[in-house]
Structure 1
Amino acid sequence: MARKKKNSPLEDVMDLVALLPWWAGVAIAVIGYLVLHRMAVPVKVGAVQPGQVSQLVTSSIITALASIGQYLVPLAALVGAAMSFFRRKQRENLITDVAQSKSANALDGMSWREFEMLVGEAYALQGYRVTETGGGGADGGIDLVLTKGGEKFFVQCKQWKAYKVGVDVVRELYGVMAAKGATGGFVVTSGRFTDDAKEFADGRNVHLVDGTKLFAMIKQVKQSQATKQTGNAAQPVQAKVLEAAEPTCPQCGSSMVKRTARKGGNAGGEFWGCPKYPTCRGVRPIG
């Protein structure tokens, strides 16, 4: 098996900066230049004592490295910032193209990397802070970390068009959630899940999002985004009713319906429930 080529330190800088907002990369480039430029200025010394030779050598090495790094490190940061900017545009284009498609088949032609970017953007539009792990490879490990309201969620993406995602994948995610203290997790696929996977996820706060649910979720969040951006000036009352009366299911993206609790301490109280219950058990409080 061929070994994975090890990145150089500058490539690592570019990759790390590319995970940040583009403006953060520009800031790192500026700060990096100022710090290294200051370190690159040679220190004037007088007569060197015998015990100061090693200190002088170390200082000379640092100065030499800083004189080179003051240009290379900011350049690497700027390249990373450019990568971040273009990835941002690519995410926007991906989710717009899918939202404008007529069926979930639009997901089938994507690479695993494009699929992960699409999923991340879909959750970002729902108010999550999305962090790309950047090290999963094709379907390896946790691909995205979502944070919202102090809670952390793990996302594993599976761009499998011809196969069903089995219980082993769901069990693996659940194990990582338990080990790292995540509130919940999502397994998102362009295909479908086996019955065993669905049974294992039930009641464990692991949400399974297949291609159909993902497509519906993207349609919903893009519609909500368009409504917020335009303000729906022509129909402000209707927009308010849609937003207040039909919130989106946090698990599958469907428009929710009012239900009345029959058991427990909240018996008789109303809440928002998913219309696909019991297949989907998403709920939201009213008010």
Structure 2
Amino acid sequence: MQFPPTMPTSKGIALITGSAQGIGRSIALRLAQDGFDIALNDLPIKGPQLESVATEIKSLGRQVCIVPADVTVDEQVKEMVDGAVTNLGGLDVMVANAGVTTGGSLLSSTVESWDHILAVNARGPYLCYKYAAMQMIDQGRGGRIIGASSLLGKVAFPYHSLELGKHGITVNAYAPGGIPTDMVKGIMDESGKMDFSGYIDDPVARKWSTSNIPIKHVGQPEDVASIVSYLASKEAHFITGQCISVDGGISMT
């Protein structure tokens, strides 16, 4: 008698926001390779891209579900977490990866762009952390909450851990430097040179390239995914409240 192949034991369930493309996609694939079952999130309009990533994850022998949501909307984030739990059986890793950026200066910015950036980059992680933490505490087995930051965010505003250590939950962040993704198309070429002339008036500050970086090659989304892989692992249980730069050595902190 033949039996269907058994699926390898899961390391847990990971939910990654903004995982239709770029860094989020690479994180989802890496965690699937590591043995996690994956809940994929992005905006509903990213359905075809999410389905494509889901197909890749299935080919790795992992369970996967799609939980579309706008991370700026309280009820949608709650439903996103609930959907991951319903479909996959729990939540062990939350990667709040979804984010947006703008190249405008302070003086050229608008209230609308400010509100949008804060809604996605600040309210989004807050809601993801909140509902993930509630679920993890209810489960009683700890967990990993991992947020996206950036090089500029790390230099300007120190990143602090939440008060979740007593529940066995670590809170860390990754801060990518220049990574060639759709987000930086138009300001970064394949060699790593970045041109901010369309956004910054100061000619001295317009040009930035890998010549300023100790490691002389361009980082890739997979390089960021490898850091998340470690932070999501059991070995990282004693690391919390950290923001780890993945920038080729630009930041020495």
Same fold (TM over 0.5): no
**Larger RCO (CA under 8 A, 6+ residues apart):** 2
Going by fraction, where is helix more abundant, 1 or 2? 1
TM-score relative to the length of structure 1: 0.28
